[in-house]
Amino acid sequence: MSSYPVGSVTVTAIKELERWRFPSNHLYPDLTEEAFQLACDTWGEEVTDRDSHELMLDITCYLVEAPGRTILVDAGNGNDKCRPVMTAHHMFETDFLDRLAAAGVKPDAVDLVVSTHLHQDHCGWNTQLVDGAWQVTFPNAEHLFSARELAHVASYGRGAAEGTLEHDFFRTYEDTVEPVLLAGLGRTFEDRALLYDDGVTTVAAEVVGGHTPGHLVVTIESAAGRAVISGDVIHHPLQLADLDLPQVGDVDPARAAAVRTELVRGCRERNTLLFTAHFPRPCRLAGDGSGGTTLTWA
Ligand SMILES: [Zn+2]
């Protein structure tokens, strides 16, 4: 695991899963063969598989730590979640909590959990199965939700028939989000929430939408540096070659493209450490001198 100081806070990447495989045209239905081959040439075997025509994603969660403050941004897919239609998310058995403990953090030490959005692979560890019941994993943490996102997942798929994609989406609300609300540990915000401020460094969540109605990003700002934890604004580095390329899960592709473009512009112009949910490592972005973007792994 790797840690990155940003001003007075430290960001630690905690992997839940490495090399999660998807057929390239499942993730990106509009991806051309030429663009896929270019991605293989550019990004290599860590994130592309030319032979099987697959793309690989990691699932990474981020600890943001400061004296007296332990924030978990995104909570992975979680174990034992039954998703018979969304099979990529079905019945994980990972050692995520051991990996968190190896970073020095037990679940009861987390005091704030923020999900960039409420797709299964970003809030799963909000709950864990204990003696056949879903229990809150981080019992001392406030769980911060974008109000728009929470309203969306509380209704989307409700009443849908078993065996449909919509029903699988609603399962995430039922077994992962609702138990947090019933425990009285949920809090919502509208557009922007300050998560930490010690006069040197600020950490804030900002709703940007696009990939999902209430998708948020977490921005860390200090005189010493800037970082963004961007969730699913961008999924795979191949999107740097075409920021308008929709990812299959983008609910509002035009807005998602605009948010992605703005994220990349901000990272390029302000020497930002970029922590995405699904790239293999953090990175920095820069202009290539001809309108394109180059990436350097951090
Ligand atoms: Zn995701």
How far does residue 119's CA lie from ligand 1's centre (Å)?
7
How far does residue 285's CA lie from ligand 1's centre (Å)?
21
Cα distance between residue 203 and residue 8, in whole Å: 10
Could you count the other beta carbons within 10 Å of the beta carbon of residue 136?
20
How far does residue 115's CA lie from ligand 1's centre (Å)?
11
CA triplet 172, 178, 180: central angle to 5 degrees? Answer: 115
- Is the pTM for the entire model greater than 0.95? yes
CA triplet 157, 163, 164: central angle to 5 degrees? Answer: 40
How far does residue 102's CA lie from ligand 1's centre (Å)?
23
* Domain interval for residue 114: 2-297
How far does residue 179's CA lie from ligand 1's centre (Å)?
21
289 burial level (CB within 10 Å; 0-12, 13-18, 19+): exposed
How far does residue 262's CA lie from ligand 1's centre (Å)?
19
DSSP letter, residue 211: S
pLDDT of the chain, 298 residues: tens digit per residue: 799 999 999 999 999 999 999 999 999 999 999 999 999 999 999 999 999 999 999 999 999 999 999 999 999 999 999 999 999 999 999 999 999 999 999 999 999 999 999 999 999 999 999 999 999 999 999 999 999 999 999 999 999 999 999 999 999 999 999 999 999 999 999 999 999 999 999 999 999 999 999 999 999 999 999 999 999 999 999 999 999 999 999 999 999 999 999 999 999 999 999 999 999 999 999 999 999 999 999 9
How far does residue 279's CA lie from ligand 1's centre (Å)?
10
| Total structural domains within the chain | 1
Res 123: pLDDT: 98
How far does residue 289's CA lie from ligand 1's centre (Å)?
31
How far does residue 231's CA lie from ligand 1's centre (Å)?
7
Tell me the longest C-alpha to C-alpha distance in the chain: 58
How far does residue 270's CA lie from ligand 1's centre (Å)?
25
Q: Where are the alpha helices (DSSP H) in 28-89?
A: 33-43
How far does residue 120's CA lie from ligand 1's centre (Å)?
8
How far does residue 276's CA lie from ligand 1's centre (Å)?
9
3 state SS for 73-140: ECCCCCCCCCCCCCHHHCCCCCCHHHHHHHCCCCHHHCCEEECCCCCHHHHHHHEEEECCEEEECCCC
Within 8 A by CB and 6+ apart from 64, the residues are 9, 10, 11, 70, 71, 72, 73, 195, 196, 203, 218, 220, 229
Query: What is the token pair recorded at 206?
Result: 């900002």
Res 1: pLDDT: 74
Q: What is the CATH number of the domain that holds 164?
A: 3.60.15.10
Classified as helix, coil or strand, 267 is helix
How far does residue 271's CA lie from ligand 1's centre (Å)?
24
How far does residue 223's CA lie from ligand 1's centre (Å)?
30
Res 209: pLDDT: 98
How far does residue 162's CA lie from ligand 1's centre (Å)?
23
How far does residue 235's CA lie from ligand 1's centre (Å)?
7
